[in-house]
Amino acid sequence: MHHRNRDFDLWPSAVDRLRERLSKRAEKLVKLQMAAEDAELEWEAERLQEKVGELQAAYDLSTELMAADDTIAELRRENAELSHVCERLVESQERVESCHATLAAIRAERAADEARKRVLWLSGII
């Protein structure tokens, strides 16, 4: 009765071989999955790096634009100040011209007074 079936004796080694093959396939599948995940992560990292570059460029541009806005605001302030100075210069020039006209009128009046005095002196009235 110790008579064993030969197929039955081979069964554990066949199961072991099948398990080993299955284990190798599972290991290969896990490696392939890991490689696919690594490739996907690498692709995502590249896209993120590109996005960071784009965001950095946008930030740099906005910083330049803010600096340009500050410069424009400063130039506008300077322009307003210069405009005010120009208005004061025009007013001063107008006052100077008015003073020159007044001086010319005073000189003309003095000259006329002197001419009248001379006429009166020559006429013997004075």
> Which whole number is the average pLDDT over 36-52?
97
> Which whole number is the average pLDDT over 78-97?
95
- How many domains is the chain built from? 1
Tell me whether residue 93 is exposed, middle or buried, using C-beta atoms within 10 angstroms of its C-beta: 0 to 12, 13 to 18, 19 or more: exposed
Residues 6+ apart with CB under 8 A from 67: none
Reported pTM? 0.47
Q: CA angle 63-56-68, nearest 5°?
A: 15
Q: Check residue 11 and give its pLDDT.
A: 62
Domain interval for residue 116: 1-126
8-state DSSP, 81: H
> Which whole number is the average pLDDT over 25-30?
94
| CB-CB contact of 117 with 126 (8 Å) | yes
Position 124 confidence tier, pLDDT thresholds 50, 70, 90: confident
Q: Check residue 85 and give its pLDDT.
A: 94
